[in-house]
Amino acid sequence: MPVLINGMKVRGMMDTGATHPLISKGLVKLLGLQNQMHPTSAVFSSVGAPVREFVGKLHDLPIVLSDMLSTNITLPVVDSDEPKLILGNEVIGGLSSLF
C-alpha cells in the first residue's frame, strides 16, 4: 500500500498478524527522520526468532495512506538497513473507525 511520509511516497505492508506497526532504521534514514527518533527500551519478538530491542521510536509521525487517509502514528524502529514499513492491526483497527 502506498504511504506518504515526510513528503516521500514509500510502500508499506499491511500485516494482519502484526500487533504493532514498525519501521526499519534504513527507511528512517532514507526519509531523513533520524533527528526525530527517540530512545526506547521496548523489545519485540517474532515467531521463531529471539527477543530483540527496538533501536528507537518515532512519535506522532504524520502519514497518508493510499493518498486518502491522514493519521499520526507512533512507529518503533528496528535495526535493519533494508527499507521496511509494516502496518499492523493497531493501524488497521484505527482505520476501520473512519468508515
The answer to the question of residue 57 being in a domain is yes
What's the pLDDT score for residue 71? Answer: 86
d(CA 7, CA 64) in angstroms, rounded, equals 10
The answer to the question of residue 61 being in a domain is yes
The answer to the question of residue 14 being in a domain is yes
| Residue 39 pLDDT exceeds 90 | yes
d(CA 73, CA 87) in angstroms, rounded, equals 10
| Residue 37 pLDDT exceeds 90 | yes
Q: pLDDT band for 93, please (50, 70, 90 cuts).
A: low
Count: domains in the chain: 1
The answer to the question of residue 41 being in a domain is yes
Q: What is the mean pLDDT of residues 4-25?
A: 89
Q: Are 21 and 87 in contact (CB under 8 A)?
A: yes
CATH number at residue 49: 2.40.70.10
